[in-house]
Amino acid sequence: MGEETSRIREEIEETRGRMSDTVDQLAHKADVPSRVKESVADKRDRLKQQMQGTAARVSDATPGASDVKQGAQEAAGVAQENPLGLALGGVAAGFLVGMALPSTKVEDERLGPVSDDVKHRAIETGQEAVEHGKQVAQDAAEAATESAQEAAQNVKETVQESGRDHVEELRSESGQGGNTITS
């Protein structure tokens, strides 16, 4: 009889333990505001982690100082490939500055018409050199622009891909695979 009483007491204790767990589970299910807060906090934390990952990927995709330096070296390479054009541009710029300065009385007396002829020829040559220098500068600018556009396109594609990945991840986590999320 003593053994049966002990067994019954053990069963009562086990039942009390299970009942306590059941009551705790029911209380948790009934506490909807608390469960909503927990769910929102979990999702917020996951979203923060995902956004940090996205920021890291975007940072990796943007051109670094070495990429920008390489673009500048390419632009300088265009000028190095055509040093004569660069030199003519420099001469033309110096000549134009000299032409902008007023002539002196001595220059007018001694050189006269020869000076005018030389000035006109020099102006023509200077204009040709300036045009050639402009072309060299334009080629360098186009090369730099193309390099920057390629880098920007790479960043754009990386960000879009990352955004799509995150949208799909959020859909699958929330169980709303069929719903459309728009930005």
Per-residue model confidence as pLDDT tens digits over 102-119:
777 777 777 677 767 777
Question: Tell me: the pLDDT tens digits for 126-152?
Answer: 788 778 777 877 777 777 777 777 877
- Kindly state the percentage of the chain with pLDDT values over 90: 1
The pLDDT value given to residue 37: 81
How far is residue 158's CA from residue 153's CA, in Å, rounded to a whole number?
9
C-alpha 11/C-alpha 29 separation (Å) is 27
- The mean per-residue pLDDT over the stretch 6-15 comes to 90
Distance CA 7, CA 25 (A): 27
Q: How far is 176 from 172, CA to CA, in rounded Å? A: 6
- pLDDT tens-digit readout, 30-49: 777 877 788 888 888 888 88
Sequence letter at residue 164 = R
Judged on CB neighbours under 10 Å (0-12, 13-18, 19+), 56 is exposed
